[in-house]
Amino acid sequence: MNPRQAHPGMDIWVRFIAGEGEGTEERESLASHLESCSRCTKDTEFLQNLQRARRVPKWVAPPTELSSAARRRPQGATLPPAPTQPRNVRWAPADVRGGVSTASASRMVSRMFPQAELGIVAIPPEASGEWRIEGRVWLREADARAIQVLLVHDDHVIASTEVFDGGYFELEDVVGSGWSLELHLPTGETLRLEDPDA
């Protein structure tokens, strides 16, 4: 390396990363320089990242009509953020005597809270791989506002629905282990039921 190449230029490193000059003295000199030069190590890491990007399979653009539809913001109610202090509710084995569920692994919740009373059944996936969660929520004090019911996994809201006082809801969706069901009451309180199998 001559003095002007105290820090070889980007073009030299491009050829180096591409494996050019295998076995030559120049390449050995570059490799030796690289071992002790953090600046050039950054250069080569940057170039290796470029090479890495090439490994990603060719991306395909969606059909124009799909793209146009997706780029229009969906309409619908804005959902509440993740609750900071949800009240966790425990499931119990389903009571099959009432004919609520025949699935042996189903879980149910039937409890009263100061704000609401719940009657909810969670039926685990069979062949379709979908959980089915259904039930009713009764508010202790009449309120015309809706209760938002969310099926959540990490920061994904898998499904959501609204139900009014005493109304029936049903959610059915594919969701991984560790999901939770959130009931956002009009009062602002959130009741949360976690995946009974997790």
Partner 1 sequence: MSGASQPLRDSTGTLRSPRPTTNRQVSNRATPPVCSQCPSALPVPLTRPKRLPSTEELSDQKLLGQCADGDERSWTLLVARYENLVYSEALKVGLNEEDAGDVFQQVWLELHRSLPRIRNATGLPRWLIVATRRLSYKVAARGRRMVPSITREMVDPASLPDEELQDVETRMRLEQALDELGGSCAELLRMLFLQPKKQSYEDISDRTGLAIGSIGPTRSRCLLRLRKILEAIS
Element (H, E) at 126: none
Q: Does 93 bind partner 1 (CB under 8 A)?
A: no
Q: In the complex, what is the shortest distance from the CB of residue 64 to partner 1, in angstroms, rounded to a whole number?
A: 5
Strand 190-194 and strand 87-89: the pairing is: parallel
Within a 13 Å sphere around the CA of 132, how many CA atoms are in the beta-carbon half?
11
Residue 10 CB, shortest distance to partner 1, in Å, is 4
Q: What's the CA angle centered on 30, arms 8 and 15, to 5 degrees?
A: 70
CB of 97 to partner 1, least distance (A): 32
Q: Roughly how many angstroms between the first and final C-alpha of the chain, as a whole number?
A: 61
The minimum distance between CB 82 and partner 1, in angstroms, equals 4
**Spatial separation of the C-alpha atoms in residues 87 and 23, rounded to whole Å:** 67
Is residue 90 close enough to count as binding partner 1 by CB under 8 A?
Answer: no
Residues 101-160 interacting with partner 1 (rule: CB under 8 A): 127-130, 152-158, 160
H/E element, 141: none
**80/186 with CB nearer partner 1:** 80
Q: Which of residues 25-84 bind partner 1 (CB under 8 A)?
A: 46-47, 49-67, 69-74, 76, 78-82
Burial of 152 (C-beta count, 10 Å sphere; 0-12/13-18/19+) = buried
The residue assigned the tokens 């100061």 is 114
Whichever of 22 and 97 has its CB closer to partner 1, that residue is 22
If the CB atoms of residues 47 and 103 are measured against partner 1, the closer one turns out to be: 47
198 is a contact residue toward partner 1 (CB under 8 A):
no
Parallel/antiparallel/unpaired status of strands 87-89 and 156-163? unpaired
Smallest separation (angstroms) from partner 1 to the CB of 79: 6
**Interface ranges with partner 1 (CB under 8 A):** 9-11, 14, 46-47, 49-67, 69-74, 76, 78-82, 127-130, 152-158, 160, 173-177
